[in-house]
Structure 1
Amino acid sequence: MFRLKDILPNTLKTIGLTKQYNTQSVIVHWQEIAGDEIASHAWPVSIQRGVLLLAVNNPVWSHHLMMLKPILMDKINTYLNEKLVFDIRFQAGNLQNYQNNQEDGVNIPLLQPAKLNSEELADLWQATAAIQDDSLRKKCYYVLIKQTALHKAKQQEGWKSCKRCNVLVPPAQVYCTVCSIECKQETKQAITKLLTEAPWLTYKEVCQFVPCSPRQFHAAKKRLVHKLIHALFQPGWDKLNEATLVMLMTGVKPGRINDTMVDTVIGKIKVRLAEKVRRKSHVSAYRR
């Protein structure tokens, strides 16, 4: 007699279900992997293309877990004995929505699973033919039925493939959660690069090269301004950086900018920073 845990890995590998099984294992055994404290504040939603999406119940824990990302990834991959997770992303969420969506270690789909016909059932049974143990074969067969029935239900409800991967998403969505996060990150980087090279561009002009929302544009511009202001007193600061900062803040094009304008704007920034430092020093002294 062989123990189930000894023969399961090779069997799953034979029928091509290893990644699906390991992905589900992270969700089912999350509390054991992450520990009680982390599990009480964060819960896995999905793993897609090596990215684990965690629902976190408050911003403080999001920041805390961001610092623990390497440790968490190492724990997960060590537990699975496979490098399955390469990154972790976080989203705000009610953990009960995910914790209560489990039964016997299998996620309960939000959609009602579709009925499979005899031909589909036969194909799934044939897919498990390599499993010698009858009990194990039936368990894998039922898992396949549930996954296939849910996939079929999504197709019947008009779900379509994500534009960047094969994951099915609701009709109103264009991208799956992971791809959506990746797209936003790529857009942010593209806007930042464009404004670094041409800091005088307006929102409409940027949209001709990088389609984005006004919020994305202003957020990227604000981050770049703060970055340059922070570097204002650092070694290596030069006139080019000053001109870039002025063009970002005023929208003035290179042909119209001059030394007087740069000195005036930079001077005002330095005065404001000095006032801010004095106010902070005054508050600190008062508290003491």
Structure 2
Amino acid sequence: MTPLGDLLGTALSPELERRMRCRQVVRRWPELVGAEIAKAAQPQALRGSTLFVTTSSAVWTNELTLLKPQILEKLNAALGEALIRDLVFRGGWAKEGQGAETTTSSGVASPRPQPGPLTRPERLLVESLLTDLEEPRLRLALRSCAEQSLRLRKARRKAGWRECGACGRQNRAAAGRCGGCGRPVVLRDRKEPSKKKSTRRRGVGSNA
């Protein structure tokens, strides 16, 4: 019987697998940080290895910034390895509708990719990854996470995002460095034209 983790690793990109695991922390946030902190701070976004947390006030932002090392230790202990390397605390609860736009390098707001529905083969792929998992709650949580991640990846491809050839993370086409590994973006789907073959063919047909 193949472990679920091995199946995920072979069927999904490393970046997608990492994000799925990190989202376990988001679901277990109150359990890991405690009820008091959970009432005043909520995780909002995961970018690369940085988790952005929105707080209810500047006081809580300062307090939690001081507690960052202890919180990071608890989160990564729950994950089994140091997948989250930094926490950024920002004041002001996120309101409904916020985050619908991102800002480009030129300062112009552009809409974020909107995830669409999965095809039947894609849903079957997700189900195939969960066949060995018997615990209903964990199965449901992983299904939801995998489907959400696949929908987002499809939407990003449609919006022109490209996958980093080094780590598999999706980046905007104009990105100079990968947001996951920090390396210069080398696009996975970019193919260099073969000039040698065309030159050789011209040479064969030439009787000069």
TM-score by length of 2: 0.55
Query: In proportion to residue count, which structure has more strand?
Result: 2
Q: Which residue of 2 aligns with 1:146?
A: 148
Q: Which residue of 1 aligns with 2:55?
A: 56
Q: Distance in 1 between matches of 2:133 and 2:27?
A: 24
| Superimposed CA distance per residue, residues 182-227 of structure 1 (whole angstroms, 9 cap, x where no aligned partner) | 9xxxxxxxxxxxxxxxxxxxxxxxxxxxxxxxxxxxxxxxxxxxxx
| Superimposed CA distance per residue, residues 36-85 of structure 1 (whole angstroms, 9 cap, x where no aligned partner) | 22122211122333222111222222111111111111111222332222
Q: Distance in 1 between matches of 2:163 and 2:8?
A: 25
Query: In proportion to residue count, which structure has more helix?
Result: 1
State the shift of 1:112 in Å.
5.7
Percent same amino acid among aligned pairs?
Answer: 22
Q: Which residue of 2 aligns with 1:29?
A: 28
CA contact (8 A) 1:161 1:167 kept: yes
1:45 aligned counterpart, secondary structure: strand
Q: Which residue of 1 aligns with 2:132?
A: 132
Q: Distance in 1 between matches of 2:45 and 2:80?
A: 19
State the shift of 1:144 in Å.
2.7
Q: Which residue of 2 aligns with 1:15?
A: 8
CA contact (8 A) 2:20 2:146 kept: no
Q: Which residue of 1 aligns with 2:79?
A: 80
TM-score by length of 1: 0.42
Q: Distance in 2 between matches of 1:134 and 1:31?
A: 25
Q: Distance in 2 between matches of 1:66 and 1:138?
A: 34
Q: Higher relative contact order by CA 8 Å / sep ≥ 6: 1 or 2?
A: 2
2:82 aligned counterpart, secondary structure: coil
Q: Distance in 2 between matches of 1:69 and 1:155?
A: 34
1:180-199 aligned within 5 A: none
CA contact (8 A) 1:43 1:95 kept: no
Q: Distance in 2 between matches of 1:115 and 1:18?
A: 20
Unaligned runs of 5+ in 1: 1-6, 99-109, 183-288
User: Rg larger in 1 or in 2?
Assistant: 1
Q: Distance in 2 between matches of 1:78 and 1:23?
A: 12
1:88 aligned counterpart, secondary structure: strand
Once superposed, what is the RMSD of the aligned Cα atoms?
A: 4.1
Q: Distance in 1 between matches of 2:45 and 2:124?
A: 29
Query: Counterpart amino acid of 2:152?
Result: L
Q: Which residue of 2 aligns with 1:271?
A: none
CA contact (8 A) 1:57 1:95 kept: no
State the shift of 1:148 in Å.
1.5
- 1:44–1:13 distance in 2 versus 1, CA, 3 Å: farther
2:37 paired with 1:44: no
